[in-house]
A and B are shown apart, each in its own frame.
Chain A
Protein backbone atom coordinates (compact mmCIF):
# COMPACT_ATOMS: atom_id res chain seq x y z
CA UNK A 1 0.00 0.00 0.00
CA UNK A 2 2.97 2.28 0.36
CA UNK A 3 3.16 2.04 -3.42
CA UNK A 4 -0.17 3.80 -3.76
CA UNK A 5 0.91 6.30 -1.15
CA UNK A 6 3.98 7.07 -3.25
CA UNK A 7 1.84 7.48 -6.35
CA UNK A 8 -0.46 9.82 -4.48
CA UNK A 9 2.48 11.81 -3.14
CA UNK A 10 3.93 12.22 -6.61
CA UNK A 11 0.62 13.06 -8.27
CA UNK A 12 -0.11 15.62 -5.60
CA UNK A 13 3.30 17.14 -6.13
CA UNK A 14 2.66 17.54 -9.84
CA UNK A 15 -0.75 19.07 -9.33
CA UNK A 16 0.67 21.47 -6.79
CA UNK A 17 3.47 22.45 -9.16
CA UNK A 18 0.96 23.21 -11.88
CA UNK A 19 -1.12 25.23 -9.48
CA UNK A 20 1.91 27.37 -8.69
CA UNK A 21 3.43 27.66 -12.13
CA UNK A 22 0.16 27.76 -14.06
CA UNK A 23 1.75 27.29 -17.45
CA UNK A 24 0.59 23.97 -18.84
CA UNK A 25 -3.14 23.92 -18.27
CA UNK A 26 -3.99 27.43 -19.49
CA UNK A 27 -1.91 26.75 -22.60
CA UNK A 28 -3.79 23.54 -23.25
CA UNK A 29 -7.16 25.23 -22.80
CA UNK A 30 -6.33 28.09 -25.09
CA UNK A 31 -4.80 25.77 -27.65
CA UNK A 32 -7.76 23.44 -27.90
CA UNK A 33 -10.29 26.22 -28.29
CA UNK A 34 -8.15 28.05 -30.87
CA UNK A 35 -7.67 24.82 -32.78
CA UNK A 36 -11.39 24.14 -32.86
CA UNK A 37 -11.99 27.64 -34.19
CA UNK A 38 -9.38 27.14 -36.90
CA UNK A 39 -11.03 23.87 -37.81
CA UNK A 40 -14.36 25.60 -38.21
CA UNK A 41 -12.84 27.44 -41.13
CA UNK A 42 -11.22 24.38 -42.61
CA UNK A 43 -14.36 22.29 -42.59
CA UNK A 44 -16.63 22.62 -45.60
CA UNK A 45 -20.25 23.54 -45.03
CA UNK A 46 -21.70 20.14 -45.74
CA UNK A 47 -19.10 18.26 -43.79
CA UNK A 48 -20.02 14.87 -42.49
CA UNK A 49 -20.20 13.70 -38.94
CA UNK A 50 -17.02 11.76 -39.56
CA UNK A 51 -15.11 14.83 -40.63
CA UNK A 52 -16.23 16.84 -37.62
CA UNK A 53 -15.31 14.16 -35.13
CA UNK A 54 -12.09 13.55 -36.94
CA UNK A 55 -11.11 17.14 -36.33
CA UNK A 56 -12.15 16.92 -32.71
CA UNK A 57 -9.73 14.08 -32.24
CA UNK A 58 -6.95 15.90 -34.02
CA UNK A 59 -7.50 18.79 -31.64
CA UNK A 60 -7.51 16.51 -28.60
CA UNK A 61 -4.40 14.60 -29.60
CA UNK A 62 -2.40 17.73 -30.25
CA UNK A 63 -3.63 19.37 -27.09
CA UNK A 64 -2.51 16.28 -25.20
CA UNK A 65 0.83 16.49 -26.96
CA UNK A 66 1.19 20.07 -25.80
CA UNK A 67 0.64 19.01 -22.24
CA UNK A 68 2.90 15.99 -22.54
CA UNK A 69 5.75 18.12 -23.81
CA UNK A 70 5.62 19.99 -20.50
CA UNK A 71 5.22 16.78 -18.55
CA UNK A 72 8.73 16.30 -17.26
CA UNK A 73 9.77 19.89 -17.83
CA UNK A 74 10.18 20.69 -14.14
CA UNK A 75 12.28 17.60 -13.50
CA UNK A 76 14.36 18.27 -16.55
CA UNK A 77 14.92 22.03 -16.21
CA UNK A 78 15.67 21.88 -12.52
CA UNK A 79 17.53 18.58 -12.65
CA UNK A 80 15.31 17.02 -10.02
CA UNK A 81 14.85 13.69 -11.75
CA UNK A 82 17.79 12.15 -9.93
CA UNK A 83 16.10 12.90 -6.63
CA UNK A 84 13.00 10.94 -7.62
CA UNK A 85 14.94 8.07 -9.14
CA UNK A 86 17.11 7.67 -6.04
CA UNK A 87 14.15 7.36 -3.71
CA UNK A 88 13.41 3.84 -2.48
CA UNK A 89 9.98 3.93 -4.09
CA UNK A 90 9.32 1.88 -7.20
CA UNK A 91 10.25 3.86 -10.33
CA UNK A 92 6.97 2.93 -11.94
CA UNK A 93 5.30 5.07 -9.26
CA UNK A 94 6.91 8.08 -10.89
CA UNK A 95 5.23 7.14 -14.15
CA UNK A 96 1.88 6.46 -12.57
CA UNK A 97 1.88 9.68 -10.54
CA UNK A 98 2.78 11.72 -13.61
CA UNK A 99 0.22 9.95 -15.76
CA UNK A 100 -2.50 10.64 -13.22
CA UNK A 101 -1.68 14.32 -13.03
CA UNK A 102 -1.47 14.44 -16.83
CA UNK A 103 -4.91 12.82 -16.96
CA UNK A 104 -6.25 15.51 -14.66
CA UNK A 105 -4.97 18.23 -17.00
CA UNK A 106 -6.33 16.50 -20.08
CA UNK A 107 -9.75 15.99 -18.55
CA UNK A 108 -9.77 19.62 -17.46
CA UNK A 109 -8.98 20.68 -21.02
CA UNK A 110 -11.72 18.43 -22.33
CA UNK A 111 -14.36 19.86 -20.03
CA UNK A 112 -13.84 23.00 -22.09
CA UNK A 113 -13.14 21.36 -25.43
CA UNK A 114 -16.17 19.09 -25.61
CA UNK A 115 -18.77 21.76 -24.92
CA UNK A 116 -16.92 24.05 -27.33
CA UNK A 117 -17.10 21.34 -29.94
CA UNK A 118 -20.80 20.84 -29.34
CA UNK A 119 -21.24 24.57 -29.71
CA UNK A 120 -19.18 25.08 -32.84
CA UNK A 121 -20.04 21.98 -34.79
CA UNK A 122 -23.20 20.15 -35.69
CA UNK A 123 -22.85 16.70 -34.23
CA UNK A 124 -23.58 16.73 -30.56
CA UNK A 125 -21.66 15.08 -27.79
CA UNK A 126 -23.31 11.89 -26.76
CA UNK A 127 -22.53 9.22 -24.21
CA UNK A 128 -20.56 7.17 -26.68
CA UNK A 129 -18.26 10.05 -27.46
CA UNK A 130 -17.65 10.69 -23.79
CA UNK A 131 -16.91 7.02 -23.19
CA UNK A 132 -14.52 7.04 -26.12
CA UNK A 133 -12.80 10.19 -24.89
CA UNK A 134 -12.49 8.82 -21.37
CA UNK A 135 -10.88 5.57 -22.44
CA UNK A 136 -8.70 7.28 -25.00
CA UNK A 137 -7.47 9.66 -22.29
CA UNK A 138 -6.19 6.72 -20.28
CA UNK A 139 -4.22 5.41 -23.23
CA UNK A 140 -2.89 8.83 -24.17
CA UNK A 141 -1.71 9.58 -20.67
CA UNK A 142 -0.22 6.15 -20.05
CA UNK A 143 1.76 5.97 -23.25
CA UNK A 144 2.42 9.69 -23.52
CA UNK A 145 3.90 9.99 -20.07
CA UNK A 146 6.35 7.19 -20.69
CA UNK A 147 7.36 8.61 -24.05
CA UNK A 148 7.75 12.04 -22.46
CA UNK A 149 10.14 10.40 -20.03
CA UNK A 150 12.10 9.03 -22.97
CA UNK A 151 12.15 12.34 -24.77
CA UNK A 152 13.35 14.06 -21.62
CA UNK A 153 16.50 11.96 -21.77
CA UNK A 154 17.27 13.00 -25.32
CA UNK A 155 18.75 16.05 -26.93
CA UNK A 156 15.84 16.63 -29.26
CA UNK A 157 13.09 16.77 -26.61
CA UNK A 158 10.20 18.82 -28.01
CA UNK A 159 10.92 17.58 -31.50
CA UNK A 160 11.12 13.96 -30.52
CA UNK A 161 7.95 13.52 -28.51
CA UNK A 162 5.45 14.01 -31.37
CA UNK A 163 7.43 11.59 -33.55
CA UNK A 164 7.35 8.95 -30.87
CA UNK A 165 3.78 9.57 -29.84
CA UNK A 166 1.82 9.90 -33.08
CA UNK A 167 2.26 6.36 -34.45
CA UNK A 168 1.15 4.98 -31.10
CA UNK A 169 -1.76 7.43 -31.06
CA UNK A 170 -3.16 6.20 -34.36
CA UNK A 171 -5.06 3.26 -32.84
CA UNK A 172 -6.38 5.58 -30.14
CA UNK A 173 -7.73 8.01 -32.69
CA UNK A 174 -9.30 5.19 -34.66
CA UNK A 175 -11.00 3.95 -31.52
CA UNK A 176 -12.11 7.40 -30.49
CA UNK A 177 -13.55 8.46 -33.82
CA UNK A 178 -15.15 5.06 -34.26
CA UNK A 179 -16.80 5.31 -30.89
CA UNK A 180 -18.43 8.58 -31.89
CA UNK A 181 -19.31 7.74 -35.43
CA UNK A 182 -20.01 4.05 -35.72
CA UNK A 183 -22.50 1.93 -33.91
CA UNK A 184 -21.88 -0.84 -31.45
CA UNK A 185 -19.44 -1.14 -28.61
CA UNK A 186 -16.52 -2.53 -30.58
CA UNK A 187 -14.54 0.69 -30.56
CA UNK A 188 -14.95 1.28 -26.87
CA UNK A 189 -13.90 -2.31 -26.23
CA UNK A 190 -10.92 -1.82 -28.48
CA UNK A 191 -9.86 1.29 -26.57
CA UNK A 192 -10.12 -0.66 -23.34
CA UNK A 193 -7.90 -3.35 -24.85
CA UNK A 194 -5.35 -0.78 -25.99
CA UNK A 195 -5.33 0.79 -22.54
CA UNK A 196 -4.86 -2.53 -20.79
CA UNK A 197 -2.03 -3.72 -23.03
CA UNK A 198 -0.08 -0.50 -23.07
CA UNK A 199 -0.66 0.42 -19.45
CA UNK A 200 0.90 -2.87 -18.42
CA UNK A 201 3.86 -2.42 -20.73
CA UNK A 202 4.40 1.17 -19.54
CA UNK A 203 4.13 0.18 -15.90
CA UNK A 204 6.64 -2.61 -16.31
CA UNK A 205 9.15 -0.73 -18.41
CA UNK A 206 9.29 2.78 -16.96
CA UNK A 207 12.03 1.64 -14.61
CA UNK A 208 14.31 1.22 -17.62
CA UNK A 209 13.40 4.56 -19.11
CA UNK A 210 14.84 6.48 -16.17
CA UNK A 211 17.83 4.36 -15.23
CA UNK A 212 20.96 3.24 -16.99
Chain B
Protein backbone atom coordinates (compact mmCIF):
# COMPACT_ATOMS: atom_id res chain seq x y z
CA UNK B 1 0.00 0.00 0.00
CA UNK B 2 2.93 2.28 0.64
CA UNK B 3 6.15 2.13 -1.25
CA UNK B 4 8.97 4.57 -0.68
CA UNK B 5 12.49 4.71 -2.00
CA UNK B 6 15.27 7.08 -1.11
CA UNK B 7 12.90 9.46 0.61
CA UNK B 8 14.33 12.75 1.62
CA UNK B 9 12.76 15.76 3.25
CA UNK B 10 14.43 19.06 3.76
CA UNK B 11 13.01 22.05 5.57
CA UNK B 12 15.03 24.98 4.28
CA UNK B 13 18.61 24.08 5.13
CA UNK B 14 17.88 21.27 7.55
CA UNK B 15 17.66 17.71 6.27
CA UNK B 16 15.15 15.82 8.38
CA UNK B 17 14.93 12.59 6.43
CA UNK B 18 17.66 11.03 4.42
CA UNK B 19 17.49 8.03 2.12
CA UNK B 20 14.53 6.27 3.71
CA UNK B 21 13.15 3.12 2.11
CA UNK B 22 9.84 1.72 3.16
CA UNK B 23 7.44 -0.92 2.01
CA UNK B 24 4.11 -1.70 3.58
CA UNK B 25 1.79 -4.23 2.01
CA UNK B 26 -1.89 -4.74 2.66
CA UNK B 27 -2.57 -6.08 6.12
CA UNK B 28 0.89 -5.22 7.34
CA UNK B 29 1.81 -3.48 10.56
CA UNK B 30 4.95 -1.40 10.35
CA UNK B 31 6.42 0.15 13.47
CA UNK B 32 8.67 3.16 13.02
CA UNK B 33 11.05 3.84 15.86
CA UNK B 34 13.86 6.24 16.54
CA UNK B 35 14.94 8.97 18.90
CA UNK B 36 13.35 12.41 19.02
CA UNK B 37 14.16 14.45 15.94
CA UNK B 38 14.82 11.38 13.83
CA UNK B 39 12.00 12.33 11.49
CA UNK B 40 9.27 9.85 12.47
CA UNK B 41 6.58 12.51 12.35
CA UNK B 42 7.92 13.87 9.08
CA UNK B 43 7.86 10.42 7.52
CA UNK B 44 4.27 9.89 8.54
CA UNK B 45 3.24 13.29 7.26
CA UNK B 46 4.84 12.46 3.91
CA UNK B 47 2.94 9.19 3.72
CA UNK B 48 -0.32 10.93 4.44
CA UNK B 49 0.25 13.70 1.92
CA UNK B 50 0.63 16.65 4.25
CA UNK B 51 4.14 17.20 2.97
CA UNK B 52 5.97 16.55 -0.29
CA UNK B 53 9.34 14.79 -0.34
CA UNK B 54 12.25 16.88 -1.57
CA UNK B 55 13.79 13.79 -3.16
CA UNK B 56 13.01 10.15 -3.66
CA UNK B 57 9.89 8.29 -4.68
CA UNK B 58 6.74 7.77 -2.71
CA UNK B 59 3.69 5.80 -3.72
CA UNK B 60 0.65 5.53 -1.52
CA UNK B 61 -2.08 3.42 -3.07
CA UNK B 62 -4.84 4.55 -0.74
CA UNK B 63 -7.24 7.42 -1.51
CA UNK B 64 -7.33 10.29 0.96
CA UNK B 65 -10.68 9.40 2.43
CA UNK B 66 -9.57 5.91 3.38
CA UNK B 67 -6.63 7.00 5.49
CA UNK B 68 -6.96 7.53 9.21
CA UNK B 69 -4.28 9.84 10.54
CA UNK B 70 -3.47 10.43 14.16
CA UNK B 71 -1.20 13.44 14.42
CA UNK B 72 0.74 14.98 17.24
CA UNK B 73 -2.07 17.47 17.62
CA UNK B 74 -5.55 16.15 18.30
CA UNK B 75 -6.96 18.08 15.29
CA UNK B 76 -10.12 19.05 17.13
CA UNK B 77 -11.70 22.43 17.78
CA UNK B 78 -11.52 23.44 21.43
CA UNK B 79 -14.75 25.41 21.28
CA UNK B 80 -16.77 22.52 19.89
CA UNK B 81 -18.01 19.60 21.92
CA UNK B 82 -16.74 16.09 21.38
CA UNK B 83 -19.96 15.24 19.58
CA UNK B 84 -19.75 18.30 17.35
CA UNK B 85 -16.15 17.62 16.46
CA UNK B 86 -16.86 14.03 15.51
CA UNK B 87 -19.98 15.06 13.66
CA UNK B 88 -17.90 17.51 11.62
CA UNK B 89 -15.41 14.86 10.61
CA UNK B 90 -18.15 12.31 10.17
CA UNK B 91 -19.80 14.51 7.59
CA UNK B 92 -16.56 15.41 5.82
CA UNK B 93 -15.55 11.76 5.62
CA UNK B 94 -19.05 10.73 4.54
CA UNK B 95 -19.36 8.22 7.36
CA UNK B 96 -22.49 6.10 6.95
CA UNK B 97 -24.76 5.85 9.99
CA UNK B 98 -22.86 8.72 11.42
CA UNK B 99 -24.61 9.11 14.70
CA UNK B 100 -24.46 5.46 15.59
CA UNK B 101 -20.82 5.21 14.67
CA UNK B 102 -19.91 8.27 16.73
CA UNK B 103 -21.82 6.99 19.70
CA UNK B 104 -20.15 3.62 19.47
CA UNK B 105 -16.65 5.07 19.30
CA UNK B 106 -17.24 7.49 22.17
CA UNK B 107 -18.48 4.55 24.14
CA UNK B 108 -15.49 2.38 23.34
CA UNK B 109 -13.07 5.12 24.36
CA UNK B 110 -15.11 5.89 27.49
CA UNK B 111 -15.89 9.45 26.38
CA UNK B 112 -19.65 9.06 26.14
CA UNK B 113 -20.33 10.94 29.36
CA UNK B 114 -18.20 13.85 28.22
CA UNK B 115 -19.70 14.00 24.76
CA UNK B 116 -21.43 17.34 25.29
CA UNK B 117 -18.43 19.01 26.85
CA UNK B 118 -16.18 21.32 24.90
CA UNK B 119 -12.95 19.71 23.80
CA UNK B 120 -11.14 22.63 25.40
CA UNK B 121 -12.10 21.33 28.80
CA UNK B 122 -10.68 17.87 28.18
CA UNK B 123 -7.51 16.64 29.80
CA UNK B 124 -4.63 15.63 27.56
CA UNK B 125 -5.51 12.00 27.90
CA UNK B 126 -9.12 12.63 26.94
CA UNK B 127 -8.02 14.73 23.99
CA UNK B 128 -5.88 11.87 22.80
CA UNK B 129 -8.82 9.52 23.05
CA UNK B 130 -11.00 11.97 21.15
CA UNK B 131 -8.31 12.22 18.50
CA UNK B 132 -8.30 8.44 18.24
CA UNK B 133 -12.07 8.49 17.80
CA UNK B 134 -11.59 10.99 15.01
CA UNK B 135 -8.94 8.89 13.31
CA UNK B 136 -10.94 5.67 13.56
CA UNK B 137 -14.35 7.12 12.78
CA UNK B 138 -14.46 6.30 9.10
CA UNK B 139 -13.05 2.77 9.44
CA UNK B 140 -9.97 3.57 7.38
CA UNK B 141 -8.09 1.03 5.29
CA UNK B 142 -4.77 2.57 6.26
CA UNK B 143 -4.07 3.70 9.80
CA UNK B 144 -1.19 6.14 10.19
CA UNK B 145 -0.66 6.76 13.88
CA UNK B 146 1.94 9.13 15.31
CA UNK B 147 2.77 8.11 18.87
CA UNK B 148 -0.76 6.89 19.65
CA UNK B 149 -0.04 6.02 23.26
CA UNK B 150 1.03 9.54 24.18
CA UNK B 151 -0.71 11.03 27.19
CA UNK B 152 -2.93 7.99 27.70
CA UNK B 153 -3.41 6.71 31.23
CA UNK B 154 -3.47 2.97 31.96
CA UNK B 155 -7.14 2.71 31.08
CA UNK B 156 -6.55 4.58 27.83
CA UNK B 157 -3.66 2.32 26.93
CA UNK B 158 -5.84 -0.69 27.50
CA UNK B 159 -8.68 0.70 25.42
CA UNK B 160 -6.36 1.55 22.55
CA UNK B 161 -4.73 -1.84 22.72
CA UNK B 162 -8.13 -3.47 22.45
CA UNK B 163 -9.09 -1.28 19.49
CA UNK B 164 -5.88 -2.05 17.66
CA UNK B 165 -6.34 -5.74 18.20
CA UNK B 166 -9.87 -5.63 16.86
CA UNK B 167 -8.99 -3.59 13.82
CA UNK B 168 -5.83 -5.50 13.07
CA UNK B 169 -7.54 -7.83 10.60
CA UNK B 170 -9.35 -5.14 8.68
CA UNK B 171 -6.57 -2.65 8.22
CA UNK B 172 -3.01 -1.82 7.41
CA UNK B 173 -0.98 0.05 10.02
CA UNK B 174 1.91 2.48 10.04
CA UNK B 175 2.71 3.40 13.61
CA UNK B 176 5.43 5.67 14.94
CA UNK B 177 6.32 5.21 18.55
CA UNK B 178 9.29 5.37 20.86
CA UNK B 179 7.78 2.63 22.96
CA UNK B 180 7.65 -0.30 20.53
CA UNK B 181 7.04 -2.79 23.28
CA UNK B 182 3.34 -1.98 23.33
CA UNK B 183 2.76 -2.94 19.71
CA UNK B 184 5.45 -5.54 19.27
CA UNK B 185 2.95 -8.36 19.29
CA UNK B 186 1.01 -6.91 16.39
CA UNK B 187 3.90 -5.75 14.25
CA UNK B 188 5.01 -7.48 11.09
CA UNK B 189 7.97 -5.23 10.42
CA UNK B 190 9.87 -2.38 11.92
CA UNK B 191 11.90 0.55 10.66
CA UNK B 192 14.38 2.41 12.74
CA UNK B 193 15.25 5.99 11.84
CA UNK B 194 18.56 7.43 12.85
CA UNK B 195 18.80 10.97 14.11
Direct A–B contact in complex, judged by CB atoms less than 8 Å apart: yes
Q: Please give the residue numbers on chain A whose beta carbons come within 8 Å of chain B beta carbons, in ascending order.
A: 2, 5-6, 9-10, 13, 16-17, 20-21, 74, 78-80, 82-89, 211-212
Contact among B50, B73, B78, B94 with A86 in the assembled complex (CB-CB below 8 Å): B50
Q: Which of A21, A85, A87, A211 contacts B79 (CB 8 A)?
A: A21
Q: Check B124 for interface membership: any CB of A closer than 8 A.
A: no
Chain B residues with CB under 8 Å of A89's CB are: 92
B57 shortest CB reach to chain A, Å: 16
Q: How far is the CA of A144 from the CA of B67 in the complex (A)?
A: 31
Give B45-95 interface residues, CB cut-off 8 Å to A: 48-52, 63-65, 67, 69, 71, 73, 75-80, 84, 88-89, 91-94
Tell me if B101 is interfacial: C-beta within 8 Å of chain A.
no
Say whether A9 contacts B134, CB under 8 Å: no
> Which positions in B face A, CB cutoff 8 Å?
48-52, 63-65, 67, 69, 71, 73, 75-80, 84, 88-89, 91-94, 118, 134
Question: What chain A residues lie within 8 Å of B118 (beta carbons)?
Answer: 20
Looking at the complex, which one of A10, A16, A83, A85 makes contact with B134 (CB distance below 8 Å)?
A: A83
Question: Chain A binding site: helix, strand, loop or mixed by DSSP?
Answer: helix
A25 CB → nearest B CB, Å: 14
Interface residues of B, dominant DSSP: loop
Alpha-carbon distance A211/B64, docked complex (angstroms): 13
Cβ-defined partner of A20 (8 Å) among B48, B69, B80: B80
Contact B79 A86 (CB under 8 A): no
Contact of A13 among B50, B67, B75, B77 (CB under 8 A): B77
Sampled A-B contacts (23; CB under 8 Å): A2-B94, A6-B91, A9-B91, A9-B92, A13-B77, A13-B88, A16-B84, A17-B80, A20-B80, A78-B77, A80-B75, A80-B77, A82-B75, A83-B75, A83-B76, A83-B134, A86-B50, A87-B64, A87-B89, A88-B65, A211-B50, A212-B50, A212-B52
Closest-by-CB residue of B relative to A83 is B75
Extra contacts, 19 of them, besides A82-B50, A82-B73, A83-B75 (Cβ < 8 A), are A5-B91, A6-B91, A13-B77, A16-B79, A74-B77, A74-B79, A79-B71, A79-B73, A80-B76, A82-B71, A86-B49, A86-B64, A86-B67, A88-B63, A88-B64, A88-B65, A88-B93, A89-B92, A212-B52
Q: Which of these, B65, B77, B92, B93, contacts A17 with CB under 8 Å?
A: B77
Closest Cβ–Cβ distance, residue A88 to chain B (whole Å): 3
Identify the interface centre among A6, A13, A83, A87: most chain B CB within 10 Å of its CB: A83
Bound-state Cα–Cα, A121 to B49, Å: 54
> How many whole Å from B144's CB to the nearest CB in chain A?
10
Of chain B, the residue at the smallest CB distance from A14 is B77
A7 to chain B, nearest CB (A): 11
A residues near B64, Cβ cutoff 8 Å: 86-88
A residues in contact with B94, CB < 8 Å: 2, 88
Contact of B50 among A9, A20, A85, A88 (CB under 8 A): A85
Closest 5 CB pairs of A and B: A88-B65, A83-B75, A87-B92, A79-B73, A20-B79
